[in-house]
Amino acid sequence: MKGEGDDGMAYLVLDQLTKRFGNWTAVDHASLTVEKGELISLLGPSGCGKTTTLQMIAGFLDADGGRVTLDGKDLLAKKPNERGLGIVFQSYALFPHMTAAENVAFGLEMRKINRADRERMVADALKLVGLEQYGDRHPRRMSGGQQQRVALARALVIKPSLLLLDEPLSNLDAKMREEMQIELRRIQRTVGTTMILVTHDQSEAMALSDRVVVMNKGRIQQVATPQDAYDRPANAFVANFLGRTNLLPGMVGAGAGGGTVITVADSVWPVAQEVPAGPGALAVRPEKIGFVDAGGLSGTVLARVFQGTQWLFEIETAAGRLMVIRQHDGSPLPAERERVMVGWRPQDMAVMPADPDTASGVREAA
């Protein structure tokens, strides 16, 4: 199991890291443990504090509180250039008058590595990113994706103890971005460098990361594997941010036969998680919902839309509207205006306390 609380494996530790700009708290007591060799993504909407977090780790911004240790050593006490980190930003920031190979060699020259070693290391780094034929090219004669590979090679060639990537693929077109995602994952597997990737693209974070860190308004909302964050979101924000979900308001309390249950309109569901009694919300993904004969939530089909491989249903219930996706596999499905009952397996839902930010405690499905 990867996760917090396993201090023996802790490589990078953020402890209550905080940054304020005037009276705005951009990063609010962020705590996180990253294992050696892990690729972790900071994910969240614009302005949630991702870049600020990365810049404090890199040393480009001073923290207002908290600690960062790397391999047991206090990182914040060191100057940026003494931290031994590799950094790749959204803009490639290559030196335009230097070739790809010269760009990659730059950090090695600064470190006074001798010429023979340097040439070998540059060749290895260019090969790693698939640019062994491009050493003599200048950046202006390379595509965006190629330039970003050079930036990656330049960051990796110094064998950084930690690689920080801030939206490295966001300037690329969709196809190139997808290729580079696969490439980045392959490189990370090959060299085993610990990486922190900042992105606001949830599918990119899910595809690449060992774990995702979902942030909102400077606060870490959840740290989990992509699957766990998707299947068991910690709160309504995470449920809404990671893909399409249904959030239904309900009441958490003791069940008739013992155990905790959540009551949603005319249906009652067993709750496996620790959730306080009182107003709560139930999150369930559209593709996890099916039509059942009994023991579910009753409603009416408002709309059904054919989408090729699947059908999309909108169901009106006493707990609100919900979205249901069923595969187009020939099995009989209800018609519009039909009375139906919908259900799901208890393990496919997540229960959370009501969201204090919204009046009803839940948000509309995306």
The footprint of Mg ion (CB under 5 A) covers 51
Q: What is the dihedral of CA 23, 24, 29, 35, to 10 degrees?
A: -140
Instruction: Tally Cβ neighbours within 10 Å of residue 259.
Output: 10
Residue closer to ligand ATP (CB basis): 44 or 233: 44
Residue closer to ligand ATP (CB basis): 215 or 283: 215
DSSP string, 252-314: EEE-TTSSEEEEETTEEEEE-S---SEEEEEEE-GGG-EE-SSSSEEEEEEEEEE-SSEEEEE
DSSP string, 146-205: HHHHHHHHHHHTT--SEEEEESTTTTS-HHHHHHHHHHHHHHHHHH---EEEEES-HHHH
Spatial separation of the C-alpha atoms in residues 285 and 145, rounded to whole Å: 35
Residue closer to ligand ATP (CB basis): 131 or 165: 165
CA distances from 61 to 18, 65, 89, 344 (A): 11, 12, 15, 47
The CB-nearest residue to Mg ion is: 51
Residue closer to ligand ATP (CB basis): 42 or 70: 42
Select from ligand ATP, Mg ion, none the partner in contact with residue 252, using the beta carbon and a kind-dependent cut-off of 5 to 8 Å. Answer: none
Residue closer to ligand ATP (CB basis): 60 or 95: 60
Query: What H or E segment, with its residue span, contains residue 51?
Result: helix 50-58
Site pattern 176..215 for ligand ATP (x: CB under 6 A): ------------------------x---------------
Spatial separation of the C-alpha atoms in residues 163 and 180, rounded to whole Å: 16
Select from ligand ATP, Mg ion, none the partner in contact with residue 286, using the beta carbon and a kind-dependent cut-off of 5 to 8 Å. Answer: none
Spatial separation of the C-alpha atoms in residues 88 and 65, rounded to whole Å: 25
Backbone phi, psi, residue 219, to 5°? -110, 140
Is residue 52 within the footprint of ligand ATP (CB under 6 A)?
Answer: yes
Select from Mg ion, ligand ATP, none the partner in contact with residue 103, using the beta carbon and a kind-dependent cut-off of 5 to 8 Å. Answer: none
Select from ligand ATP, Mg ion, none the partner in contact with residue 48, using the beta carbon and a kind-dependent cut-off of 5 to 8 Å. Answer: ligand ATP
Stretch that binds ligand ATP, among 4-12, 50-58, 240-248, 286-294 (CB under 6 A): 50-58
On whether the CB atoms of residues 240 and 285 are closer than 8 A, the answer is no
Site pattern 295..334 for ligand ATP (x: CB under 6 A): ----------------------------------------
Tell me the one-letter amino acid at 288: K
The residues, ordered by sequence, that sit 6+ positions from 75 with a Cβ below 8 Å of its Cβ are: 57, 59, 68, 69, 83
What is the size of the binding site for ligand ATP (CB under 6 A)? 11
Select from ligand ATP, Mg ion, none the partner in contact with residue 270, using the beta carbon and a kind-dependent cut-off of 5 to 8 Å. Answer: none
Spatial separation of the C-alpha atoms in residues 116 and 123, rounded to whole Å: 11
Closest distance between Mg ion and the C-beta of residue 53, in Å?
9
Closest distance between ligand ATP and the C-beta of residue 347, in Å?
33
Select from Mg ion, ligand ATP, none the partner in contact with residue 220, using the beta carbon and a kind-dependent cut-off of 5 to 8 Å. Answer: none
Is residue 48 within the footprint of ligand ATP (CB under 6 A)?
Answer: yes
Select from Mg ion, ligand ATP, none the partner in contact with residue 21, using the beta carbon and a kind-dependent cut-off of 5 to 8 Å. Answer: ligand ATP
Query: Which one among 17, 28, 43, 51 touches ligand ATP, defined by CB under 6 A?
Result: 51
Site pattern 134..173 for ligand ATP (x: CB under 6 A): ----------------------------------------
Spatial separation of the C-alpha atoms in residues 71 and 77, rounded to whole Å: 14
Query: Which one among 49, 160, 280, 361 touches ligand ATP, defined by CB under 6 A?
Result: 49
Tell me the one-letter amino acid at 83: R
The two structure tokens encoding residue 365: 């499905």
Q: Residue numbers of the site for ligand ATP (CB under 6 A)?
A: 21, 26, 44, 46-52, 200
